[in-house]
């Protein structure tokens, strides 16, 4: 007879947790895999479900591997290192298909081959917490611990770029020497093709001694410090002042994209290059076509599309990103074939959409909230004949796909995943819709 807390896992949910059922209640078990028999420890109990952590594995899945990171299980930065890397991709593909079917009531005509790359050292952006712990008399630096506000004591990180990962202990040490060590809660990492920037969130001014310590650290490790005394818009370069600007390249399209440390760019530069190439090929822009790039950001898709000879209108909610996109278009010699507008896309209406120029095709790349107001506005003669939709949340993609297919007369031609965040439950995907 099984013990009360021994159970067999039936499947995985969207967060990579094992799903099991016992006495009519769903048990979500972190660290458990499909087919495994495990014991578990519940940390949250509700009437219809429980949240639990795997305690002991009685029957192990062939999908299971030994986590590479010494901090895995304590640090909350990763949740799937115990799963074989290619199995992670397959799991995410299944979740995408199931979500499209269950929420969107749609199935793609074609499943695109998954996009994936290196599983380690890929993360070029991160917000890392900092906390001076008096009882330990030292500064901790890392992601938050799982289910906790405590900061994981990270001596290394397997998903950050190797250079930044190797600097964590020394960065903690130099922060420990600052007069404001208990007034510096966060370091934001932004790495480009050529330089690495660390943005220090400072709650009070640095002393002259603090400034010299940071200058020496930056010079020794060839990184650039920026300071953020208030909100994200308050950032400014500290040292060295004559350093090159952050940028990344899209060699397939001969495009270089400068950006500021706190402006949105994709976490995984390698996958971003492949993703942009796939999106442009699926969109198939032609000379003479007019293409809309909605939620265009700093021009990640707009400028590669414009290289085809099509004209592109990029629309974005952030005035700062619109300005950056215009600057990037000028740097790449694409100002004549692009224009950028600021518009609140979460309040889009059919009338507002119709007031724009007619678009032959659309590229939509929304945040996790999706683009429900926009897709509801694609009606009548103003509806484009093809849409490529890049999504960072399957459930909102599925919701918007339901509208496009069942209300707006589109067909879901293809969909697939792109493993932008290995070892996490985050699912990036791409879908193609065509007007019937």
Q: What is the 3-state secondary structure (H, E, C) of 219-243?
A: HHHCCEEEEECCCHHHCEEEECCCC
Sign of CA dihedral 106, 107, 110, 111: positive
**In DSSP terms, which residues pair with 363 in a beta bridge?**
293, 388
Q: Is 332 annotated as ligand-binding?
A: no
CA pair distance 373, 163, nearest whole angstrom: 42
Respond yes or no: is residue 392 known to be catalytic: yes
pLDDT band at 2 (very low <50, low <70, confident <90, very high): very low
DSSP 8-state class, residue 70:
T
3-state secondary structure of 106: coil
Q: Is 328 annotated as ligand-binding?
A: no
Q: Is the pLDDT at 414 greater than 80, yes or no?
A: yes
3-state secondary structure of 108: coil
Q: Is 216 annotated as ligand-binding?
A: no
423: left (phi over 0), alpha (psi -120 to 50) or beta: left
Q: What is the mean pLDDT of residues 215-228?
A: 98
Q: Is 242 annotated as ligand-binding?
A: no
- Percent of residues, the chain, with pLDDT higher than 70: 99
DSSP 8-state class, residue 64:
B
Q: What is the chain's mean pLDDT, rounded?
A: 95
| Residue 263: CB atoms within 10 Å | 18
Nearest to 373 by CA among 406, 342, 351, 341: 351
Q: Is 316 annotated as ligand-binding?
A: yes
CA pair distance 314, 328, nearest whole angstrom: 12
Q: What is the mean pLDDT of residues 390-407?
A: 98
CA pair distance 435, 407, nearest whole angstrom: 12
Q: Which of these is catalytic: 54, 325, 392, 431?
A: 392
Q: Is 78 annotated as ligand-binding?
A: yes
Residues 3-60 have pLDDT tens digits of 558 999 999 988 889 999 998 899 999 999 999 999 999 999 999 999 999 999 999 9
Nearest to 7 by CA among 16, 23, 62: 23
Q: Is 109 annotated as ligand-binding?
A: no
Confidence (pLDDT) at 1 = 39
Q: Which two tokens stand for residue 175?
A: 């922060």
Q: What is the mean pLDDT of residues 85-114?
A: 97
CATH fold label, 89-118+268-435 = Rossmann fold (3.40.50)
How far is CA 253 from its chain centroid? 22
pLDDT band at 216 (very low <50, low <70, confident <90, very high): very high
**Strand pairing of 37-45 and 386-391?**
unpaired
Tell me if the domain spanning 125-191+196-239 has CATH number 2.40.50.1070: yes
The radius of gyration computed from the CA coordinates of the chain, to the nearest angstrom, equals: 24
Q: Which two tokens stand for residue 113?
A: 């081959």
Domains 6-64 and 125-191+196-239 agree in fold: yes
CA pair distance 282, 215, nearest whole angstrom: 47
Q: Is 296 annotated as ligand-binding?
A: no
Q: Which long-range contacts (CB under 8 A, 24 or more apart) does 423-426 make?
A: 423/78, 423/79, 423/80, 423/81, 423/88, 423/119, 423/159, 424/16, 424/77, 424/78, 424/79, 424/80, 425/14, 425/15, 425/16, 425/79, 425/80, 426/392
Q: Which of 6-20, 119-133, 248-262, 364-378 has the lowest mean pLDDT?
A: 6-20
Q: Is the pLDDT at 432 greater than 70, yes or no?
A: yes
DSSP 8-state class, residue 380:
G
Q: What is the mean pLDDT of residues 216-220?
A: 98
DSSP 8-state class, residue 334:
-
- Backbone φ and ψ for 7, nearest 5 degrees, come out as -155, 155
Confidence (pLDDT) at 4 = 56
CA pair distance 276, 304, nearest whole angstrom: 8
3-state secondary structure of 93: helix
Confidence (pLDDT) at 14 = 82
How far is CA 301 from its chain centroid? 16
CATH fold label, 6-64 = OB fold (Dihydrolipoamide Acetyltransferase, E2P) (2.40.50)
3-state secondary structure of 361: strand
C-alpha to C-alpha distances, 52 to 10, 25, 97, 153, 328, nearest whole angstrom: 15, 13, 26, 23, 47
Q: Give the contacts of 136 (CB within 8 A, at least 6 positions apart).
A: none
Contact 125, 196 (CB under 8 A): no
Q: Indicate the domain borders of the chain.
A: 6-64, 89-118+268-435, 125-191+196-239
Is this prediction's pTM over 0.85?
A: yes
3-state secondary structure of 61: coil
């Amino acid at each position: 007879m099984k013990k009360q807390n021994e159970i067999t896992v039936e499947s995985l949910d969207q967060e990579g947790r094992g799903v099991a059922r016992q006495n009519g209640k769903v048990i979500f078990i972190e660290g458990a895999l499909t087919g495994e028999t495990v014991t578990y420890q519940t940390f949250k109990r509700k009437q219809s479900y429980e949240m639990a952590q795997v305690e002991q594995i009685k029957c192990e899945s062939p999908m299971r591997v030994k986590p590479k990171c010494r901090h895995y299980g304590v640090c909350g930065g990763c949740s799937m290192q115990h799963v074989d890397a290619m199995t992670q991709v397959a799991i995410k593909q299944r979740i995408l298909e199931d979500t499209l079917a269950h929420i969107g009531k749609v199935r793609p005509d074609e499943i695109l081959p998954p996009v994936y790359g290196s599983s380690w050292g890929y993360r070029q952006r991160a917000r890392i917490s900092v906390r001076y712990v008096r009882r330990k008399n030292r500064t901790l630096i890392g992601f938050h611990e799982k289910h906790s506000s405590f900061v994981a004591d990270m001596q290394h990180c397997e998903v950050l770029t190797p250079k930044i990962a190797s600097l964590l202990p020394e960065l903690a040490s130099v922060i420990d020497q600052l007069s404001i060590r208990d007034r510096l809660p966060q370091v934001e990492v932004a790495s480009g093709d050529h330089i690495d920037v660390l943005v220090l969130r400072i709650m009070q001014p640095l002393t002259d001694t603090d400034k010299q310590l940071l200058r020496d650290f930056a010079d020794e490790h060839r990184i650039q410090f920026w300071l953020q005394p208030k909100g994200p818009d308050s950032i400014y370069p500290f040292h060295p002042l004559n350093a090159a600007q952050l940028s990344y390249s899209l060699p397939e399209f001969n495009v270089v994209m400068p950006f500021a440390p706190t402006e949105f760019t994709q976490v995984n530069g390698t996958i971003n290059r492949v993703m942009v190439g796939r999106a442009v090929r699926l969109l198939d822009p032609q000379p003479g076509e007019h293409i809309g790039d909605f939620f265009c950001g700093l021009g990640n898709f707009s400028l590669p599309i414009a290289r085809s000879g099509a004209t592109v209108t990029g629309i974005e909610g952030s005035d700062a990103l619109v300005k950056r996109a215009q600057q990037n278009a000028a740097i790449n010699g694409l100002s004549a074939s692009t224009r950028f507008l600021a518009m609140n896309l979460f309040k889009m209406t059919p009338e507002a959409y119709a007031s724009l120029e007619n678009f032959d095709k659309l590229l939509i790349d929304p945040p996790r909230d999706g683009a429900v107001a926009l897709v509801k506005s694609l009606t009548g003669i103003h509806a484009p004949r093809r849409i490529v939709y890049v999504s960072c949340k399957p459930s909102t993609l599925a919701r918007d796909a339901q509208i496009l297919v069942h209300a707006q007369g589109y067909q879901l031609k293809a969909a697939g995943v792109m493993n932008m965040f290995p070892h996490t439950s985050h699912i990036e995907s791409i879908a193609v819709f065509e007007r019937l």
